[in-house]
Structure formats: C-alpha cells, structure tokens
Amino acid sequence: MIDEISDQLQKVLSGLTDFQRATVDSVLEKYRLAEHSHRALVADEVGLGKTIVAKGIIAQLLMEHLSNTPNEPMRVIYICSNLALADENRQKLSLFNNQRASEWVKPSTFGRIVELAVKKKGADDSNQAVIEVCTLTPSTSFNLSAGAGNRKERAILATLLSQIEPFKGYSKPIFALFKTNLIKNNANWEWELNDIKSGYDIDQDLLALLSEKLNKPCHSKILTERFDTIKEATLSLIRSWSEDLGETEETSVLFNSLRVEIRRLVARCCASRLEADLFILDEFQRFQSLTDQCSDSEETIIARQVFKVDNLDQSRKAKVLLLSATPFKAMTTLDDEEDESSHHEQLFKLLDFLSHNDVEFILKYESYRDLLHRNMLSLAAGETNIQDSNARAVETLLRTYISRTERGQISENFEQLINSNELCCSGDFDVEEIKSYQAIEALNSILPRGRRGGSLIEFAKSSPWAISFLNGYSFKEHFYRNFREPAVLKWLNRSTNKIAWLSESNINGYKLNVEQDTPNAKTKALTKIVFDKSPENLLWIPPSKPYYPLEGVFKGGEYLSKTLLFSSWAMVPKALSSLWTYEAERRVLKGKGKRPPYFVESSSTPLLRLEGKSTLNTWHLVYPCITFSKVEYAEESLHHLLDKQVVAIDRELAALKKYEGPGATNSDWYVLAPMLLDMANGEWEHVEQWFNTTVSRAASEGRRKHILKLQSYFDDENLSDIGKMPKDLAKVLAFSSLANPATCAMRTIRLLWGATVSRPELMEYSVRFAELTVRLFNHDYAAPIIKRNIKHKLTAGRMASPNWFKVLVYCAHGNFQSMLDEYCHLLSTSGSSLQSATSKIEQAMGIRSTSEQVHFWEKRKKAKDKSYSSMRCHFAVSLGNQKVDVEDGLKRVMSVRDAFNSPFRPFVLSSTSIGQEGLDFHWYCRRVVHWNLPNNPIDVEQREGRVNRYKSLVVRQRIAQTYNPRFRAGVDKWQQLFEQAKRTEKNKRSDLEPYWFFSKGSAQIERVVPTYPMSKEVSKYAEIKKILVLYRLAFGQPRQQELLDTFSNCDIDSSEFKSTKDALIIDLAPLNFQQ
C-alpha cells in the first residue's frame, strides 16, 4: 500500500511546474532546519497556483511522514477566511483522485475548534488512512466574541457542562439554556443531543481541564460585575433558569453572555490540545490578528495556543505555511502611514511572526533595508552607477522566510499581455447627463439637512438614473423620511426631474435603448463594448478553437470574452446588471414581430418539453448515439461537413429500410433512427440501457409515460411498420452527429474521464449532460433567441420548424462539441472528477435569473415598502454583497462563480469587491473594467489577477490563433494544443509558458478604464500607471508614497534607469536561486 501511495504522491509532484517545484523544495528545506522557525510564506503573484504549491508541500511532507511514522495519519489544518474559499480549494488540495482515496484519507475530525472536545466513535477504524485535512475559519473558530455557536457546538457545550461537578444535577436546564430561542423545532435539538451522546466520546482530559478553568474570572464585563468566577456565574444562572422556567427579558443578556463565555472557554481548552503536522493559513491577510505577536485579542491568544508559540520542545514545533499574493499592502499612501497600516508596518509584523520574534534577524534586516533606501534616493537623484549589494543582502534575509514568484521575474515580455484602454467618454457625454445631475442636486438641496451639504456628483457619474438604484444608501433613506414634505412633493411633481429616474413604462415596452438613451456617458460607452459582436443572441461563449467555422448568430463572435467589472459603489452592479440584461432582451426582441411586455409572468410552457402531448422527437436531444460517436471534425465549413455526413448516413440508413411501412411519412423516425442504427450495429444493450436510465431519472409521471410511449415502438409487432422515412432524415441525423447534446457529452466523457467510467456511468452522465442542456434552452431568455434566429424547416411532423430541431441547428452553429470539449478539459485538468464536473455544469447551465430592486419614476410617491419593482438579471449579474460564511450566501457566490467561469451566462459580472481573493474568473474572461479607480493602485493588478491565471482565456485564444493542427481522433484537443505550444516555445525561461503566458497570438487582457474628459480620474489613472511601473522598487520601505514621488522627474523609460531599477528590485523567486 505504501508503494502505491508513494506513486500517487510522485504524480502530484511531477505535475508541478518548474517554478512551483522550486518553491516546494525551498519551503521543505526550511522545515528541515532545526534552528528555523518552521514558518514560511508563499506569496506568489496572483494566479500562479499557491494552492497547488501547498498541495506539493503536503505531498512531500506526507512522503517523509510515511517513512517516519507510517501508523499515524498526518494531520493538515487548513485555515481560510470564508466557506467559499474553503470549498474552492478543498478539491485543489486533494492528493488522491483514484478509487482508493476514501481508504487513504481520514474523514475530517472537526470543522470547528469546539468539536475537538468530542471524538466520533469508530473514527480510528480506518487503519489505512494516511492523511486528514481539517478546515477552520477564523469567524467560526477563533473570533468568539459574539454568538454561542451553531447547533452542534451548543450541544457539545451543554453535554460537557452537564458532566462537570457541581452541574451534574442540572442537565435539563443546561440543555434548555443552550438550545436557545433560535431552534424552533425541539426534535432537531433532541436529535443533536442524542447524536453527541450516542455517536461521540468525550475527551476526559479536556473535561478535567475545563473543570479547572471554570474557576477563572469571567471575561465578559456584564458577568464580571456580578460574579467572581465562571463557575459561580454558571451555577447561579442555571439555578435562575430553573426557578424562572427559562430566560426573561431582564435576564436574556446574562444568559447570552454565559453561552458566549462557555464557548470561549471550551475553545481555549480545545486550542491548547490541537495538534497538526502542518497548519496552512490561506489569504491570511484577511485575519491578521492570528499572526500579530503583539496583540492580546481573543483570536491571537487562541492562535498562539494552536501554533504552540510557547512550546519549548523544538522537535514538536508546528509547521506553519502562510499563503497570500498580498500578505501586506504592496503600496501605501501617507494616510495609511498615519493609520498605522503602512506597508512597512505590516511587513515588520509579518517578519516578527515568521521569525518567532527573532530580534537579531529583524535588526539586521532593518539595517540593510535602510542602506537600500539610500541607494534608491541616489537613483531618484539621477545616479545610475549604483552597486546592488544592499539589495542582495535584503533579498537573502527575506528569502529565509518568504518565497514570491512574479511573472516578470521568470518570463520575458509578459507586459505585452495587457492592453490598457483608457476609454474617454467625451463622445457620449451630452446635456441630458448634466440635467440628470442638476435634478439630483435639486432634490438634495430641498431635503431637510440634505446630505450634510455634500455634492452628489459621484452618484450621477457612477450610475444612470441614480435615484432609482440608491436603495440602501442613507440619502435614499433620508428621501423616504421626507418625501411627503411640500417642497419635496413639488420637486416630485415637476416632470423635468423625471430624467433622474428610470421610467417603468419605457422598460415595460422595451422602448429604452441603453446605448443611445442613457444619461450617463460611461454606461453608453461600455454598452457598446459589452454588446460588440452581438452576445445577446448567444447562450454560450464561442469556443476558442472551433472545429469548423462558426455559423448563424455565432458567426463573427470569434475570440469573444466575458466582462468582469469592479466598482466602488454598491449601486453600480445593481444598475448595470439590470440595465444590460434588459438591453440584451430588447436587442433579441427588436425587428419584426410583436414584443411581449417586460413585466409579464414567465411563460408556463418551456421551449423543450419531454412529456404530455409534445412530440417524442425532443428525446432525440437526450439520446447518445454510438453510431455517430466516431465523427471526425475537419477544419472546413459546417456546410461541407454536413454534406459529408449526409452521404455516410444515407449508406447507414439503407439497413433500416426494412422498418418502413406503406403508410404516410412518420416524423418519429427522427428520434427512432439513431436508436435503430445502434441496434443494427449490435448495440441493443446500449439502447435498453438508455430506456432504463431515462425511466429511472424521470422526474414526473408525464415524462415517464412519454418514454414508455417511445419504448412501445420496440415491441415486435410495432417495429416492423413505423411508416415512411422523412426525405430529410439523413440531413437531420447529420446535424445530430455533429451537435446532439447527448452524443457530444458521450464523446467528451469518453475522452476526458473514459478510464474511470463504466458503461452504465457513461450512459447516466451522458443523459444528465443532455438533460442539463435541455434545461439551458428552457430558460425564459433562451426561447426568443432560438425562435427568432433559427428558421430551418423539416419535411415531416406537426410543426414545420419544431423547437427541438431549432436547438439542434443552434448547437451545430455554435460548435457545441468544441465548446463542451474545451470547458470539460478545464474542469478535468483542474482536478474535477466526472461527478464534480457534472455538478459544476449543473450550476452553470441551471443558474436562474436573479433580480434587482428598482425604484421607478411612476412609483416615486409611494411609501418605501411599496415603491420597488424587480428587474431581471441573467445576461449580467452582481456579486460581492453575499455573506460567504452564511450557507445561502456561500451557495449563491459559488453558483455565480461557477456560471461565470463557464461558457454559459452570465456574460458580465459586476462586483464592489476588489477581487474576491481566492476565486478564479479566468476561464472565459479577459476583459476587466475599472468603473471606478481603486484608492490603492496595486488593486488594479489584484483585480486583473482574477483573469490572468493558469490556462486562462487569453492564453487559450493566443494558442488557438497560432496553431492549426490536424486533431487526432480520441485525443484531448486542448492537451494536444498545449503540448504543441510547449514543444515550440524554445526560448522560454520557465514553465509559465505556455500555461500562464504565450508570446504569440494577438489576444490580450483588456483593461478598460472609462473616464470623463478633464476629470480627476484622468490624472489619477496616469499616476496609477506610473506607480505600477515603480512600486516594486519601494518593497519593504517606509513612506512609500514619498519615496516614489522622488522619481517624478526621472526618465523612467530610459535604458540606464531601467537597468539600475531592475538591479535594486528584490527577487524572492526560488526558481532564480536554484543551484
């Protein structure tokens, strides 16, 4: 078994790039030194795979662990800022993806630190387990200043207390006290208590420690004022609960304080007993109190116990791995200096933690840093003949604890990947925008006390019809409190002020043209960019490397990109998501034909029905035909491919002539023919398996009856007389052979997961993929796209142009097979099993429209609770306001992330966050819009780092533009493309190429910065661009803004300046220091 595990671990290590492996080796070298603190920071630039590096470190440590202590599982504790990040990276950290993984990986013992107080019975029964990975978040395990914990935690706390003297006689009030009023269903609480009692053993040593610690003074101020010790407070309040039969309004605060007090105490006891072979702190800058050596906060105290800071046994020092692309502010202003949150201050605290408060190391570092600072001032003064010895000394000291790989330091010409588009909106600026601002300011001026006299110009610049989208802002709340005042009513009655509001009637009649009629220049300019190449008619982004030229609405959409937009204002994502989704619908509906009103209940009849009186032929889309699974795609037109397929299929259909009868033409041939062809080729079992699968998956009786009706054709007496074949049957099957969703899915699954998939599983997942595609086309927004753009007709059936055939043609036009192959290549090579990949596809294809609340002009005089209407969001959606430590918020974030990181909608994602650190958005996006420029220039890089990552869209499109290989049958096309790119890149310096960067091709990451002419954003952006060139010079230095200001008169583009600058920049990339 050990040999088999070692082979798996070697595969993990061999899968690392050269720069990732160099980092792994560098960290392990530190961990092997007895005198080292065993604390290391991996601070690789955004998108270079820090989590993969962590996985490599775990693999290497596990190999050593198996050599030294093979009978005890290695424990890794992964601490991250929120549940979304935990969910994202849990899969990336998995070492084993084979069928033995469940045997080798021990189930997580705990998910919150309080859970360490109990141990699941039989938890050690898995003798073959070699590793356990547990996940904690600071908000649920370290920050315990508020809240009594979740239901399981409270059940544990109550059970512990009930077994300690002198509380043993008070079990009933203790259990009632910790139930709290949050649990309405008493059965749920009883189940939790019984589960702890019957399914877990209590740690008796911890129980003894807790009993001792109860004699300590209370932490809570409200309890300290009344009681000397925690034990006294607990006993007194339990008796009070019994006497009062629960908590009263007067005592509820005391009882809540007691719950928090007990939880905090138990957490401390558990923390002191928590041990792990490796602690990983991911994106730790979000919870810096855990690494602050000087803080005496609750989080810091618990963290010190966890990391065993005071442990004198050097052999048992905890190994700590910090991960973050931004472990401290890369660039800080003078205001930050005054707030004691400067770059230098944060780096100093970090080095203090990493070095275990090694004063000698810190003093030595500061000495060389100061000398380097003087070198930089000399450079700013015009001197270019400067020795780099001080820079190298600082570099050597920092490399003791820090590894940081940056693209520019291990790859040349990387900057060519970014195209900076300063979008001056002068051509779209008009008098209507000024009138809109004047109307808002007029309202501001008449509201009592106004907005403290502040100008609302930023509102007007950031969003069109700003008042309609200001819900949640204090200004809007102020309006609601005063909208019945005479002066305000007079303003509301003035029709000229309508320009500050969105009109409901214009939206309902699809009269508003967002690109032309919006009183906001930035919105107009961005609408042109977002809707370039008509994405409103697309249900997926066209593949980077189509197997044949795109047709229909997809034609001209080559190298399309989704859009990621960042704003400083919460109203901007609301406004743009709703307006751009509306605009997408309007553009689809323009032209001939009656437009339905916008505000109408969604259609009850889906585009594709698999039950009732609908045609059986819709099942054609769900049947994976083996006969068609071996189609060869060539780089020629769809027309030529179809002609070639028609000839081949006509020959195949000759074997089915025996099933024709003398009667009329039967359109059911369209669905029966693929099955009959498979049966003619000996695949009876495949057809039977399909019927069994679809019947078992039928979600309704109507669907089940539909399948059985289709199956009845295969009764002996019926199969011999189906009727005449339609004249266009071969043509329809030709489309099907190229783009049938089920057949395409079967080909993709075989290609990427075939080695691990049985025939029943292949059928199950092919059908699931196809059903998800049906769900995609049944979205309300999909129906008008298909009906208005596909006009192909059939010669048989009740309808000349049935929806199922329109969908088939649409899939052929959009290279459905190529799209699915590319998407699933990304899923499979990122570690997704077939099951998890299907789950992500389900999220992506099935994501429902959301809505934003909008206050229309027509409802301006209504009270707040009656003033809002909903606008749909599916083409564009917002992200960033969800609480990722709340289950519903986490689900929504992950659902939107999975959908945006797929070829399917949404095509625009707007966020107020500076990037949702740790979440990737790069698979189908290479355009980043900075709607508002961030205060910190480095946030521009952080935002763009979300799309500048491994196998990103820009890299794939560049490779697709460069190579046109003849694709080999049965081979992953994208694996073939990347291998060709890797072979032909002769001059590459590292494995960044071709996976993170590819020098050939014209596709670029688009940085879009919309600005008003002569506005402050113009000069601010010019300053940001300069700082992005220079800020690495100021690494580790205090008062960075002042330092960079000294370079204002330098010719930063001169070769002499560049050469000296580069020599003084600190390089912490392990790859550059390998022997």
Q: Which domains does the chain have, with CATH numbers?
A: 2-140+277-327 (3.40.50.300), 151-272 (no CATH), 431-518+569-600 (no CATH), 616-844 (no CATH)
Beta-bridge partner residues of 929: 565, 1008
- The one-letter code for the residue type at 484 is R
Q: What is the pTM (predicted TM-score) of this model?
A: 0.86
- What is the arithmetic mean of pLDDT over 768-795? 94
Contacts 24+ apart (CB under 8 A), 6-10: 6/63, 6/66, 8/95, 8/96, 8/98, 9/59, 9/60, 9/62, 9/63, 9/95
The torsion angles phi and psi of 280, rounded to 5 degrees, stand at -115, 125
Reading the block at residue 227, the tokens are 């009681």
CA gap 720, 128 in Å, rounded: 58
More confident call, 891 vs 394: 394
Which three-class secondary structure state does DSSP give residue 135?
A: strand
High-pLDDT (> 70) share of the chain, %:
90
DSSP string, 309-372: TT---GGGPPPEEEE-S-SS-SS--HHHHHTT--HHHHHHHHHHHHTTS-HHHHHHHHHHHHHH
Question: Looking at 226-235, 304-313, 985-994, which range is the least confident one?
Answer: 304-313
DSSP state of 847: P
Cα end-to-end distance, the chain, whole Å? 35
Q: How long a stretch of residues is the chain?
A: 1075
- Residue 920 is predicted with a pLDDT of 83
- CA–CA distance, 741 with 816 (Å, rounded to integer): 7
Q: Which of 637, 659, 624 is nearest to 729 (CA)?
A: 659
> CA 812, CA 953: separation in Å to the nearest integer?
22
Window from 390-394, 723-727, 890-894 with minimum mean pLDDT: 890-894
Instruction: Look at 98-107, 185-194, 272-281, 556-565 and tell me which has the smallest mean pLDDT.
Output: 98-107
Phi, psi of 161 (to 5 degrees): -60, -40
For residue 329, pLDDT over 80 is answered with: no
Give the separation between CA 737 and CA 740, rounded to whole angstroms: 6
3-state secondary structure of 904: strand
Rounded to an integer, what distance in angstroms lies between the CA atom of residue 13 and that of residue 17?
A: 9
Closest among 836, 754, 736 to 794, alpha carbons compared: 736
pLDDT reading at 930 higher than 70 = yes
The reported pLDDT for the residue numbered 501 is 96
Q: Is the peptide bond before 994 cis (omega within 30 degrees of 0)?
A: yes
- pLDDT attached to residue 367: 94
List the one residue out of 748, 739, 746 whose CA is nearest residue 812: 739
Q: Which of 347-356, 409-418, 849-858, 875-884 has the lowest mean pLDDT?
A: 875-884
Per-residue model confidence (pLDDT) at position 270: 87
191 vs 414 pLDDT, higher one = 191
Rounded Cα distance between 853 and 470, Å, is 10
Helix, strand, coil fractions of the chain, as percent rounded to 5: 55, 10, 35
Q: Provide the pairing of β-strand 320-323 with 39-42.
A: parallel
Give CA separation, 214 vs 203, 209, 687, in Å.
Answer: 17, 9, 69
| Helical packing angle, 171-179 and 252-273, nearest 10° | 100
pLDDT in tens, 464-508: 999 999 998 989 988 999 999 999 999 999 999 999 999 999 999
- 873-908 pLDDT, tens digit per residue, is 999 999 865 554 455 556 677 788 889 999 999 999
- Residue 12 sits at φ, ψ, to 5 deg, of -60, -45
Beta bridge pairs of residue 74: 131
Indicate the pLDDT class of residue 129, thresholds 50, 70 and 90. confident
Q: Quote the pLDDT of residue 915.
A: 45
User: And the tokens for 234?
Assistant: 């607990």
Give the residue-averaged pLDDT of 179-206: 85
Supply the pLDDT for residue 699: 84
Whether the Cβ atoms of residue 74 and residue 59 lie closer than 8 Å to each other? no
703 with 719: CB under 8 angstroms?
A: no
Burial 272-303 (b: 16+ CB within 10 A, else e): bebebbbbbbbbbbbbbbbbbeebeebbbbbb
Average pLDDT over the chain, rounded to whole?
Answer: 87
Q: Is the pLDDT of residue 703 over 60?
A: yes
> If pLDDT is split at 50, 70 and 90, which confidence band does 114 have?
confident
Q: Which of 106-110, 234-238, 406-410 has the highest mean pLDDT?
A: 234-238
Between 150 and 973, name the one with better pLDDT: 973
For residue 1005, report the phi and psi dihedrals to the nearest 5 degrees: -75, 125
Let me know: does 304 contact 289? Beta carbons within 8 Å: no
Answer whether 97's CB lies under 8 Å from 70's CB.
Answer: no
Residue 144 scores a pLDDT above 60: no
CA angle 123, 127, 129 (to 5 degrees): 80
* Each residue's pLDDT tens digit, 204-229: 999 999 999 999 999 888 999 999 99
Q: Measure CA 948 to chain center.
A: 14
Please state, in angstroms and rounded to a whole number, the distance separating the CA atoms of residues 804 and 611. Answer: 13
**What is the reported pLDDT for 98?**
64
562-566, strands of its sheet edge to edge: 418-424, 1005-1011, 925-930, 562-566, 908-911, 876-879
Which residues of 556-621 form beta strands (DSSP E)? Answer: 562-566
Cα gap 292→299, rounded to integer Å: 10
Please give the Cα distance from 231 to 212 (Å, whole number): 10
> Could you please report the per-residue DSSP string of 511-546?
---HHHH-S-HHHHHHHHHHTTT-GGG-SBPPPSS-
Residue 914: per-residue pLDDT:
45
Return the H-helix or E-strand segment holding 648. helix 638-653
Distance in angstroms (rounded) separating the CA atoms of residues 1022 and 914: 20
- Strand-pair category, 278-282 with 74-79: parallel
Contact between residue 737 and residue 649 where contact means Cβ atoms under 8 Å apart: yes
- Neighbour-count burial of 791, counting CB atoms closer than 10 A to its CB (0-12 exposed, 13-18 middle, 19+ buried): exposed
Q: Name which of 1036, 1075, 988, 1056 is nearest 407 in CA terms.
A: 988
Would you tell me the crossing angle of helices 741-753 and 729-739 to the nearest 10 degrees?
30
Percentage of residues of the chain with pLDDT beyond 90: 52
* CA atoms of 842 and 740, how far apart (whole Å): 18
Lowest-confidence pick of 319-328, 622-631, 725-734, 743-752: 319-328
Indicate whether 115 pLDDT > 50.
yes
Structure tokens that stand for 998 in this block: 């590819």
pLDDT per residue as tens digits for the range 80-109: 877 666 766 777 788 887 667 778 888 888
